[in-house]
Amino acid sequence: MTAILYPVATNAELALSRPQGRAARESEARRRAGEAVVFATDAVGPAFATREAALDAYKGRVEDERTGTTPEPEDRYCRIVEQVAEGAKPPRPVAPTYADGHRWPDPPKRPKTVWRLTVSYWRIGTAERPLDTPQARVARKSGEALAPEALRAIAQAPLRPTKPQQPLDIGLFETRPPEAPHIVMPDE
């Protein structure tokens, strides 16, 4: 299996047009950039009203099930995603009604959405970064009111651990054999 070779660049537009190189791992990307890198996924280009229009615009960069075309395995760092359009408001949460034998009312009208290209790449660490957010549980416990942009960034950020994972415990009736210390086996 071939690993995806992500571009190394300062932003997503440069990752598509003029990357400094391509790398599968952070250590390779750091060598190519000559400084620290951060893995990022950012939306680029115009917004399209339909998925088909976006697929036509980025032919050859993304997988298209209509024509059966797929990029090479190492070139699969682009995706077409659906996003809520700028200025469109997401639907408000609804309360259960318990009326006429139904628990929930009719779903709210779906907000206007657009289709955009997202690029996953190694962003050079000193480059301009999007809003860096705190962890959701840390922000919630602090009790401070967050700006809407910060809440959106928290919702789209990957989960991060609060502390390093601790080594697994060995139970009372388990042991590691001397010839294979990486195995934990029951001891009777």
* Predicted structure pTM score: 0.62
Give me the residues of the chain with pLDDT under 70, please.
Answer: 1-2, 126-134, 158-163, 165-168
Q: Which residue has the tokens 């408001």?
A: 89
Q: How far apart are CA 76 and CA 63, in angstroms?
A: 8
Q: What is the pLDDT of residues 54-88, one digit of tens each?
A: 999 999 899 988 888 888 888 899 999 998 888 88
Three-class DSSP category at 149: helix
| pLDDT of 132 | 59
Long-range contacts of 162-170 (CB under 8 A, 24+ apart): 162/135, 162/137, 162/138
Q: How far apart are CA 129 and CA 123, in angstroms?
A: 9
Q: Which residue has the tokens 């209509």?
A: 66
| pLDDT of 168 | 65
Is 154 within 8 Å of 133 (Cβ atoms)? Answer: yes
Please state the length of the chain: 188
Q: Where are the domains of the chain?
A: 1-89+97-129, 131-160
Mean pLDDT for the chain overall? 84
| pLDDT of 51 | 93
Q: What is the pLDDT of residues 89-104, one digit of tens each?
A: 877 888 888 888 888 8
| pLDDT of 160 | 64
| pLDDT of 53 | 94
| pLDDT of 116 | 94
